[in-house]
């Protein structure tokens, strides 16, 4: 008696199972759909099969698997179209107690192809992930290069920053080496003096400044001039003009390589033009302030207007900050050319002058065209020359013009006999309302306009007499020195 998966016998008349199945015949390339598949002839049932003895198994060799007797299940798995000699090999029966393999195991080759495909997919995914990560890092780096932070550190400032010509900083940098601070000390026992400003006029060592800056040291005092680099030089007065408030100094041992400041044309200055003032306000050397031309032809007396030694100017008005110590310093235009000499400020308590009051935005400068003429005269002769009309006018009244006084100082005639005014037909009591096309409202304004001209100039005068307006042309005379 035998039990399935038990026993070792096989039918005697059944051929031995080949170790390798034969190659099945190739079916026709285009078989007819109506031709039925051949039916295999069933093998006759064997009689009592003989018992076949097994060969001894050598030591260490694996025990052979028991033979499998074909049964109905095997017949069911046989291909229907198989021909003679095409029985499939019997399935391998596992040893007793071993797990039964699946009835239709997957072919080995497809398993290898599936494993290879999975591996290829994994490798492709890893490669794609690596490429994607690299591209992302590259894009991030490119993004960092193209987009900068809004916070700029000091290290990111350009190392070779240059200011464009015409900026205040550029103009100041060019002009400052030619602007000096002046220390004046009187010759008295107290050694009183003050600090002012000046600028290089020529390469010979002439310095232009205000008269009131050096007046205390003019007679027996000492003067020293200090450049922005800290080098100081002794200086002496070449000439002073009290009425113009202009003075010229000369360095006693002038260094080589002095750079004079360029002189502009004050007649072409327009209201609203930019201005740059350089000086030593309250002793603070090399101070730069800026503003604009606020007005032109302002009649200004640098004192209280009552003394004979007062200075008069038809000034350039600027709102650049000017304080005591700025006096004598240059007023520059946007190109760096000198258009005026800073001379006076309007203070809240004492009128025009150089009081210790601070700037209130009303500064006044001597037009450089006038200052240049005075400086050249002082360098040539050491004495100022003033243009005059030969008439004494009232210095107190304002608002209706400059009235010719009834008599001059010391009882002298108010109109100099055979002088310029007398030749033009002017008389005592006439009110001069215009001079050279500029309106006149007071005695100081008339003198300020006269001193913008030179001796010998012919100027048209408008005046009133007995309620009538008349005009005359006057040829200006001259006066040498301060009196």
- For residue range 117-139, list pLDDT tens digits in order: 445 544 444 444 555 454 444 44
Q: SS3 for 363-390, per residue?
A: EEEEEHHHHHHHHHHHHHHCCCEEEECC
**What distance separates the 2 farthest-apart alpha carbons in the chain?**
182
Nearest Cα neighbor of 209 from 366, 327, 129 is 327
Q: Just list the catalytic residues.
A: 212, 245, 327
Tally the C-alpha atoms within 13 A of residue 481's C-alpha that lie toward its C-beta: 1
Q: Identify the residue whose tokens are 């400041």.
A: 261
Residues in CB range of 345: below 8 A, 6 or more apart: 322, 323, 324, 352, 353, 354, 355, 357, 359, 360, 362, 363, 364
Cα separation, 148 vs 138, in Å, equals 17
- Lowest average pLDDT, out of 82-91, 326-335, 380-389, goes to 82-91
The pLDDT tens digits for 364-414 are 999 999 999 999 999 999 999 999 999 999 988 877 899 999 988 888 899
Residues in CB range of 436: below 8 A, 6 or more apart: 449, 453, 459, 460
φ, ψ (nearest 5 deg) of residue 113: -65, -40
Cα separation, 421 vs 332, in Å, equals 37
Report the share of the chain in percent with pLDDT over 70.
62
pTM above 0.85, yes or no: no
DSSP structure class, residue 281? G
* Angle at the Cα of 367 from the Cα atoms of 364 and 373, rounded to 5 degrees: 140
């Amino acid at each position: 008696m035998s039990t399935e998966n038990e026993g070792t016998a096989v039918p005697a008349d059944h051929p031995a199972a080949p170790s390798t199945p034969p190659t099945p015949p190739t079916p026709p390339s285009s078989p007819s759909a109506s031709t039925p598949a051949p039916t295999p002839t069933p093998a006759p049932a064997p009689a009592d099969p003989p018992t076949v003895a097994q060969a001894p198994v050598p030591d260490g060799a694996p025990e052979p698997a028991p033979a499998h007797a074909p049964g109905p299940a095997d017949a069911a798995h046989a291909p229907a179209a198989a021909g003679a000699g095409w029985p499939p090999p019997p399935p391998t029966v596992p040893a007793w107690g071993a797990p039964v393999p699946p009835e239709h195991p997957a072919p080995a080759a497809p398993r290898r192809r599936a494993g290879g495909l999975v591996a290829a997919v994994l490798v492709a995914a890893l490669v794609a992930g690596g490429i994607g990560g690299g591209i992302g890092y590259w894009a991030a780096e490119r993004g960092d290069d193209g987009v900068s932070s809004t916070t700029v550190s000091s290290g990111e400032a350009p190392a070779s920053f240059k200011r464009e010509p015409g900026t205040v900083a550029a103009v100041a940098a060019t002009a400052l080496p030619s602007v000096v601070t002046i220390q004046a000390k009187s010759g008295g026992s107290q050694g009183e003096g003050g600090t002012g400003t000046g600028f290089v006029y020529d390469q010979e060592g002439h310095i232009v400044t205000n008269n009131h800056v050096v007046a205390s040291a003019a007679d027996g005092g000492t003067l020293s001039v200090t450049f922005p680099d800290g080098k100081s030089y002794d200086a002496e007065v070449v000439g002073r003009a009290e009425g113009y408030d202009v003075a010229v100094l000369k360095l006693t041992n002038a260094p080589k390589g002095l750079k004079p400041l360029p002189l502009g044309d004050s007649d072409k200055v327009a209201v609203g033009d930019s201005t740059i003032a350089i000086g030593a306000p309250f002793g603070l050397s090399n101070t730069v302030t800026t503003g604009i031309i606020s007005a032109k032809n302002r009649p200004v007396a640098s004192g209280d207007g009552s003394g004979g030694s007062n200075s008069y100017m038809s000034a350039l008005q600027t709102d650049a900050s000017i304080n005591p110590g700025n006096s004598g310093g240059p007023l520059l235009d946007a190109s760096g050319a000198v258009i005026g000499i800073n001379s006076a400020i309007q203070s809240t308590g004492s009128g025009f002058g150089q009081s210790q009051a601070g700037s209130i935005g009303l500064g006044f400068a001597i037009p450089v065209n006038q200052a240049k003429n005075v400086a050249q005269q002082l360098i040539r002769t050491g004495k100022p020359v003033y243009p005059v009309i030969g008439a004494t006018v009232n210095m107190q009244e304002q608002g209706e013009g400059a009235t010719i006084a009834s008599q001059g100082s010391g009882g002298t005639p108010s109109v100099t006999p055979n002088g310029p005014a007398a030749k033009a037909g002017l008389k005592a009591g006439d009110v001069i309302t215009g001079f050279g096309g500029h309106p006149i409202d007071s005695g100081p304004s008339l003198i300020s306009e006269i001193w913008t001209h030179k001796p010998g100039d012919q100027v048209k005068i408008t005046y009133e007499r007995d309620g009538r307006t008349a005009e005359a042309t006057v040829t200006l005379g001259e006066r040498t020195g301060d009196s």
